[in-house]
């Protein structure tokens, strides 16, 4: 009414000039987007204005400001700037009901208007994950649902498993009762295994009202599973006299404690040397009787598992002294016997002597080596006695034959003796040696 009264007081000639001069005047506005609860600034500008009034009105066509005069009693609406070229107002604590088309009017003849649409974004609520019950058994099918309400437009939900996005999910969007915002839910189905224990499942809500800072909900999985068992020996090559530690490494949820050690399907045969400490089996002073299959068994509330280790105790390497006198003496004796005779048995004798040297290089108990050497010495000695006896027998036969040759042509014994002595004189070159 104030504006109409002022118009009625203007002379007709002045009105014509104003109308003529205002033909190039146009109000300029821009659309505004604001997050619910924020503050919206509505600005109307006129580049060329000859003192013509500006006005802002709401979607219900209620005047908010006429120039610098407030027309609607709403404490949320304030004047920002008022001049002949600009009229700016602010609306604080914006709600979804404030959304709509606002009008800036320039009171020329005729009145010129410009529209600005105010968009209010509904902020999604913090998401919630449902469907998880702790603990979950290995192999079970798990279904998790993430839900958020109050978003405008509808928010986007994404799933992550250890920072890796999961694509195969279900998505559902429903309009809220106010018919302005939406409730969004997403469902994730997967079968769990022991590798999922302690894994973080994250539901992330993306929305333009969140200013690149998404809202998240996280659920850490707790998976129960049967133990897994592995036996680790302290040395890969156990030897006699050493100590051996077998460690039973068991993993399970709940943690199996303690573990059970057995040997060849029964209890440990020597508790004094086979000491169990926690998950370790310590076998002292190994010997060949310790050979066998050792079994570690772990049990928890879900199930039982075991592992086996086959123990083979190896001999300690036997290194002989660098010089051994017995083989050398044996060889010397055999060499002397061979110098006396050229019997074909020499090669066999020599071959027999070399066997102890061949055995000496092989690892084995000391008593076996000494026994072999003694046997060879006895055998060589017997062979030497046999060859010597045969040589003496042949030598005696030759002597008797030469004595008999002197008595072949003698008429009596005295002549035979003289002939024999002459034969011996004539046969001085035939000399016999006895060694």
> How far, in Å, CA of 183 to CA of 180, rounded?
11
CA distance 409 to 411: 7
How far apart are alpha carbons 275 and 73 in whole angstroms? 90
What percent of the chain has a predicted confidence (pLDDT) above 70?
74
Q: CB of 148 within 8 A of CB of 183?
A: yes
Residue 101 CA to residue 59 CA, distance in Å, equals 5
What is the per-residue pLDDT for 409?
A: 56
Mean pLDDT of 320-345: 38
Where residue 237 falls among pLDDT bands split at 50, 70, 90?
A: very high
Task: Provide the pLDDT for residue 411.
Answer: 60
- In this predicted model, which residue has the larger pLDDT, 202 or 329? 202
Name the residue ranges covered by the structural domains of the chain: 27-121, 128-221, 226-311
Percent of the chain with pLDDT strictly greater than 90: 60
On the CB side of 293, CA atoms within 13 Å amount to 8
pTM of the model: 0.59
The class that CATH gives domain 226-311 is: mainly beta
* DSSP of 259-320: -EEEETTB--S-TTTEEEETTEEEE-S--GGG-EEEEEEEE-SS-EEEEEEEE-PBPPP---
Which helix (H) or strand (E) covers residue 335, if one does? Answer: helix 325-340
Question: Number of H helices and number of E strands within the chain?
Answer: 6, 26
DSSP 134: S
* CB-based burial, 323-350: b 16+ in 10 Å, e otherwise: eeeebeebeeebeebbeeeebeeeeebe
Give helix 345-360 / helix 366-404 axis angle, nearest 10°: 160
* Cβ-contact 221, 194 below 8 angstroms: no
Identify the residue with better confidence: 216 or 425.
216
pLDDT tens digit sequence for 60-88: 999 999 999 999 999 999 999 999 899 99
d(CA 47, CA 45): 7
Provide the pairing of β-strand 223-233 with 244-253: antiparallel
Element containing residue 229 per DSSP (H, E): strand 223-233
Domains 27-121 and 128-221 share a fold: yes
pLDDT in tens, 259-309: 999 999 999 999 999 999 989 999 999 999 999 999 999 999 999 999 999
SS3 340: helix
Give the model confidence (pLDDT) of 80-127 as tens digits.
999 989 999 999 999 999 999 999 999 998 999 999 999 999 999 999
CB 28 within 8 A of CB 19: no
**What's the token pair of residue 282?**
């310590």
> Which CATH homologous superfamily contains domain 128-221?
Immunoglobulins (2.60.40.10)
Task: Report the alpha-carbon angle 171-177-181, nearest 5.
Answer: 55
What pLDDT, on the 0 to 100 scale, is given for residue 147?
A: 97
Give the 3-state DSSP-derived string for 397-408, with helices as H, strands as E and coil as C.
HHHHHHHHHHHC
Q: What are the DSSP calls for 109-121, one per residue?
A: SS-EEEEEEEEEE
**Domain topology for 27-121:** Immunoglobulin-like (2.60.40)
């Amino acid at each position: 009414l104030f504006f109409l009264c002022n118009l009625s007081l203007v002379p007709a000639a002045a009105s014509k000039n104003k109308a003529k001069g205002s033909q190039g005047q146009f109000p300029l506005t821009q659309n505004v987007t604001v997050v619910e609860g924020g503050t919206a600034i509505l600005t109307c500008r006129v580049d060329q204005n000859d003192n013509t009034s500006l006005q802002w009105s709401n979607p219900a066509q209620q005047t908010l400001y006429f120039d610098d005069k407030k027309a609607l009693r709403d404490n949320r609406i304030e004047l920002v700037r008022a001049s002949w070229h600009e009229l700016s107002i602010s609306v604080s604590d914006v709600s979804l009901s404030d959304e709509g088309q606002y009008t800036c009017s320039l009171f020329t003849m005729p009145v010129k208007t410009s529209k600005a649409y105010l968009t209010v974004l509904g902020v999604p609520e913090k998401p919630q994950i449902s469907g998880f019950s702790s603990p979950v058994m290995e192999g079970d099918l798990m279904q998790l649902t993430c839900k958020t309400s109050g978003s405008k437009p509808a928010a986007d939900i994404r799933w992550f498993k250890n920072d890796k996005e999961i694509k195969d999910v279900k998505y559902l969007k429903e309009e809220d009762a106010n018919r302005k915002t939406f409730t969004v839910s997403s469902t994730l189905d997967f079968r769990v295994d022991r590798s999922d224990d302690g894994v973080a499942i994250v539901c992330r809500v993306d929305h333009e009202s969140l200013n690149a800072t998404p809202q998240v909900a996280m659920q850490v999985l707790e998976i129960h599973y049967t133990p897994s068992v592995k036996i680790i020996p302290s040395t890969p090559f156990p030897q006699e006299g050493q100590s051996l530690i077998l460690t039973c490494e068991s993993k399970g949820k709940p943690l199996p404690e303690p573990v059970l050690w057995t040997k060849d399907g029964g209890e440990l045969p020597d508790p004094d040397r086979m000491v169990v400490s926690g998950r370790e089996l310590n076998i002292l002073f190994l010997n060949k009787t310790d050979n066998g299959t050792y079994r570690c068994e772990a049990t928890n509330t879900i199930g039982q598992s075991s592992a086996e280790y086959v123990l083979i105790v190896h001999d300690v390497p036997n290194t002989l002294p660098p010089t051994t006198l017995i083989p050398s003496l044996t060889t010397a004796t055999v060499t002397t016997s061979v110098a006396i005779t050229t019997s074909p048995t020499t090669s066999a004798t020599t071959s027999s002597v070399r066997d102890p040297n061949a055995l000496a290089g092989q690892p084995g108990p000391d008593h076996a080596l000494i026994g072999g050497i003694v046997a060879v010495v006895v055998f060589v000695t017997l062979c030497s006695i046999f060859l010597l006896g045969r040589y003496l027998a042949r030598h005696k036969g030759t002597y008797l034959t030469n004595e008999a040759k002197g008595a072949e042509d003698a008429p009596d014994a005295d002549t035979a003796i003289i002939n024999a002595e002459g034969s011996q004189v004539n046969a001085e070159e035939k000399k016999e040696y006895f060694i």
